[in-house]
Structure 1
Amino acid sequence: MKVFTQSVNFSADQKLIDFIEKKVGGLEKFHDKIVDAEVFLKVQKTSEKENKITEVKINIPGNELIVKKQTKTFEEGISISVESLKRQLQKSKEKSKDALVS
């Protein structure tokens, strides 16, 4: 699966990109028809500590799953997003199985 990463208003280092690709790439275990993934990283200019916005979009045939999280670090945002997407992918796969059965 191809993972596209875009960082807005800053430059993401290679370590962060590798972390993202490893975490998001692991989602393939939960759905076999993932086309690709897009990850958007933004830093919001606020005085709050939780100013990192992580948005992950997974493209599957006929659908796209999007999770947006605001956290203290991008790693935390990616981890939470991936957990949420695992559940969504499992639900999506169940729905497609149910559609095939009926």
Structure 2
Amino acid sequence: MKVNVHAVNFNVDRKLVGYVQGRMDKLEKYYDRVVCSDVFFKLDNSSIKENKIAEIKISVPGDEFIVKKQCKSFEEAVELAADSIERLLVKRKQKVRAHS
């Protein structure tokens, strides 16, 4: 799956990009018709510790899913967002099967 990583106002290190690619590749076992995915990283300018935001946008034929999570680390935010996307993809797959 093609994964585009975007960081808003800062540079992402290769370790994080590799982590994101590996985590997104796991999503293909839940729904194999994913066209592409975009992952956006943002830093919230507030005083709270949970200021790292990961937003995942996944495109499947005929639909698009967007999940946004805010945590203490980007890895944790990606993990939570990917878990939510997994559930959405499983629901989508069951819905497609029901109509076939």
Q: What TM-score does the superposition give when structure 1 sets the normalisation length?
A: 0.96
Aligned to 2:86: 86
Q: Where does structure 2 lack aligned partners over 5 or more consecutive residues?
A: none
Quote the Cα distance in structure 2 between the aligned partners of 1:9 and 1:45. Answer: 12
Matched, 1:19 2:11: no
Partner SS, residue 33 of structure 1: coil
The amino acid of 2:72's aligned partner reads: K
Aligned to 1:46: 46
Partner SS, residue 45 of structure 1: coil
Aligned to 2:71: 71
Quote the Cα distance in structure 2 between the aligned partners of 1:21 and 1:93. Answer: 22
Aligned to 1:8: 8
Aligned to 1:33: 33
Q: Which stretches of structure 1, 4 residues or longer, exceed 2 Å deviation after superposition?
A: none
How many pairs were matched up? 100
- Structure 1 residue 28: Cα displacement: 0.4
Partner SS, residue 31 of structure 1: coil
CA RMSD of aligned residues (A): 0.6
Q: Percent identity over the alignment?
A: 44
Quote the Cα distance in structure 1 between the aligned partners of 2:72 and 2:25. Answer: 23
The amino acid of 1:67's aligned partner reads: V
- Structure 1 residue 25: Cα displacement: 1.3
Partner SS, residue 87 of structure 2: helix
Partner SS, residue 22 of structure 2: helix
Quote the Cα distance in structure 2 between the aligned partners of 1:74 and 1:96. Answer: 32
Partner SS, residue 31 of structure 2: coil
Q: What TM-score does the superposition give when structure 2 sets the normalisation length?
A: 0.98
